[in-house]
A and B are shown apart, each in its own frame.
Chain A
Amino acid sequence: MTTTDTRHPAVGTAERQELLERLADRAKFVRMETVRLTEIPGAGHYTGTFSVAEIFAALYYAQLGYRPDDPDWADRDRLVLSKGHAAIGLYPVLADVGFFDASLLDDYTRLGSAFGDHPDMRKIKGIDFSSGSLGHGLSISTGMALAGRVSGRDYRAYCITGDGELEEGQVWEAIMAAGHFRLGSLVAIVDRNQLSIDGATEDLMGIEPLVEKFTSFRWKVQRVDGHDLSALLDAFDALDPPGEGPPQVIIADTIKGRGVQRMEGDIRWHVGRLVGADYDDVMAELSRGLQPLATGGGRD
């Protein structure tokens, strides 16, 4: 697997193009598996998973250092999925890279299964920390980054947070602490898909201006299109090496439900179910890969 100090192939090279095509294919895989697995319980977090599909692909197939045959490898990069409700899209990736057999996912959410709507580190290899209660993950990854300093290891601690989640007070306690301790090995990725359950964050509890907020809490900030795989790779390459520098955040502007036209920017699909012909239509749509936005996105 890759390590944290590997730079990605340069723009314009064949290697770059090959990597981007592979990542796009894996993002498609995340979305299709999400739709497939949702059939088992009959309800799933489609849209908040679709918004991080490219982020999952870029992290697990191009950025994170880990060893599927040694999931507890002490020097691995850590990833905390603070928006645990996107786990349905992460499980297939973990299986695909070799942490466990993909057939285990056929038990998704069934009685006694290891695989629930939110991930459990005690039951699933490759999950670095359990999550589900919004607002905790950045604190957890702050602890992981501090631990790297205590033990002299130079892994990175990544944390994927939602955007609505930033309304939780504990998140700002963690942001303040990470800035104070200058945790350069901490990388937050905000899935800025604009929507939480009841509507747009800026309508119900405004969280902007995020760049200014993180900057004022002593973080280094990048803001990119979270569905642009090349931009994500560039953002990873632009990260400072782990050390005593400021913690770093990549605010990834995304579209909730991206990849399925009927879901893009529509809060009604936060939790939903596709039935009958709709299921087949959506699978066919997804199998064609990411298409240009029909509406420009952001439909509320």
Chain B
Amino acid sequence: MTEETAEAGGTAEAGGATLSGLFSGTAGPAALKDRNPSTTKGIPSSSTPAFVAGDELADLAETDPRIVVLTADLANANRTIDFAQRHPDRFFNMGIAEQNMISVAAGLASTGLIPYVATFAAYVALLGCEQIRTDCAYTGMPVRILGHHSGMSLGFYGTSHHSLEDLAIMRSIADLTVVCAADANQLRAILRASLTHKGAMYIRLGRGRDPEVYGKEPPQNFLLGKAVRIREGADLTIITTGSQLHASLAAADALAAASISTRVVDMHTIKPFDADEALKAARETGAVLTVEEHNITGGLGSAVAEVLADAGVGCKFRRHGVPDEHVLLGPPAALYTHYRLDAAGIEAVARELLGR
């Protein structure tokens, strides 16, 4: 389950031709050989957060001997193969055994190495939750967990492959830094920052097709724990993170066109949380909409609500995310539309909040 998994959450046609080939009764070994998992067919290379990690880490590893990379039978899907090809002695494919992989990474880290562990968010954050807590966070080990294909980005693979709880779980773990990448360039910035960051990190990534927000180069002013105010606005603040940043910016554009001045904050770091930026949003714009590809319980919206409530700051407020249900299955784009997590949906929710 490698290449087809990377494709599976995508468009309906992604696996169609191959599947029909397999079912035709005529497909022999040659047809299977065409499915060489080391190819990158159809996967864009520059705007794909999950898929630049291997490349970026390989570059960083040229000068930093502490970097090692592990994955669980997804080296092709997450392109950690790009690291493996350049640093084969510092790459470990641990097979389909995520809990062992995380604890092994902790053991590696105890000797001074910096392990990057990459696999589906559902299997590191949910299956491997206790290993992250006990072996990485509690011990202060600099393990970097890359949870890719988070949220519902694996579409019609269904709930087993979705990760709509990971932020809630991860942000309740002490001594764990939790950060979401919105695009490839921001991920590069996160990875560079991670080299000097103390303790364990959970880095939440999208499906590897996220549209670019931050331009070609890693944002130079990126600071873990410091939110980025991308748009100024006076009537409303959208606080969002990771995969929902691009759609939120598009929604803000549409709102602005309708004379609703909308601030957009990229709360890339969920823990430690930039409470000041959340409070400023409430005080200065009087309305806050949080947007996340996560269960409405326990994630970004909950974090903002806690900050506002603790400070006694009231404003128009709405948490927008996935309702507390196991989501429908379908192609990701259809899911985002259905759950109003595309630009039009976010715009509509914002208008409901403001009554405009």
Contacts and interface: CB of A to CB of B under 8 A. Distances in A.
Q: Which of A139, A143, A144, A169 has the most CB of B within 10 A?
A: A143
B89 A150 contact: yes
B135 interface: yes
B276 to A, nearest CB: 30
A51 interface: no
A128 interface: yes
A74 B110 CA distance: 10
Interface string A138-163: 01111111111011000001000000
Interface of A: 74, 78, 80, 121-122, 128-130, 132-133, 136, 139-148, 150-151, 157, 169-170, 173-174, 176-177, 180-181
A142 B107 contact: yes
Given A130-B135, A139-B135, A170-B131, 20 more contacts: A78-B110, A122-B139, A130-B138, A139-B99, A139-B106, A139-B131, A142-B103, A142-B104, A143-B108, A144-B110, A146-B104, A147-B68, A147-B110, A151-B111, A169-B99, A173-B100, A174-B103, A174-B104, A177-B97, A180-B95
21 contacts: A78-B110, A129-B106, A132-B134, A133-B134, A136-B103, A136-B135, A139-B103, A139-B106, A139-B107, A140-B106, A140-B107, A140-B135, A142-B100, A143-B115, A146-B107, A146-B108, A147-B112, A150-B89, A151-B112, A174-B104, A181-B92
Contacts of B104: 139-140, 142-143, 146, 174, 177
B107 A147 contact: yes
Interface string B99-125: 110111111111111010000000000
Contacts of B90: 150
Given A136-B135, A146-B92, A150-B90, A177 B100 contact: yes
Contact of A74 (B92, B99, B106, B112): B112
Nearest to A169: B99
Taking residues whose C-beta sits less than 8 angstroms from the other chain, chain B's interface range is: 20 to 34
B94 interface: yes
Contact of B131 (A122, A136, A146): A136
A199 B89 CA distance: 44
A128 B94 CA distance: 23
A212 B19 CA distance: 42
B348 to A, nearest CB: 46
A113 to B, nearest CB: 16
B73 interface: no
A180 B96 CA distance: 13
Nearest to B138: A130
A155 B139 CA distance: 22
Given A133-B134, A144-B107, A144-B110, A173 B140 contact: no
A157 B111 CA distance: 11
B320 to A, nearest CB: 36
Given A150-B68, A177-B94, A139 B100 contact: yes
B212 interface: no
Contacts of A121: 110, 139
Contact of B113 (A139, A150, A170, A173): A150
B95 A177 contact: yes
A128 to B, nearest CB: 7
Nearest to B109: A143
Given A122-B140, A130-B139, A132-B134, A140 B110 contact: yes
Shortest 10 CB-CB contacts between residues of A and residues of B:
A143-B107, A139-B103, A173-B100, A173-B97, A143-B104, A147-B111, A140-B107, A143-B108, A144-B107, A139-B100
B108 A144 contact: yes
Contacts of B131: 136, 139, 170
B89 A143 contact: no
B130 interface: yes
B107 A130 contact: no
Interface in B127-177: 130-131, 134-135, 138-140
A79 to B, nearest CB: 12
Q: Which of B104, B105, B108 has the most CB of A within 10 A?
A: B104
Contacts of B108: 143-144, 146-147, 150
A133 B130 contact: yes
Interface string B257-298: 000000000000000000000000000000000000000000
Nearest to A157: B107
A78 B111 CA distance: 10
B19 to A, nearest CB: 31
A177 B68 CA distance: 17
Contacts of A151: 111-113
A145 B111 CA distance: 10
Contacts of B110: 78, 121, 128-129, 140, 143-144, 147
Q: Which of A141, A142, A180 has the most CB of B within 10 A?
A: A142
Nearest to A121: B139
A143 to B, nearest CB: 2
A76 B168 CA distance: 39
Nearest to A80: B107
A180 B97 CA distance: 13
Contacts of A142: 100, 103-104, 107
B127 to A, nearest CB: 10
Contacts of A128: 110
Contacts of A133: 130, 134
B71 to A, nearest CB: 13
A170 B103 contact: yes
B298 to A, nearest CB: 23
Nearest to A159: B107
A129 B143 CA distance: 14
Nearest to B100: A173
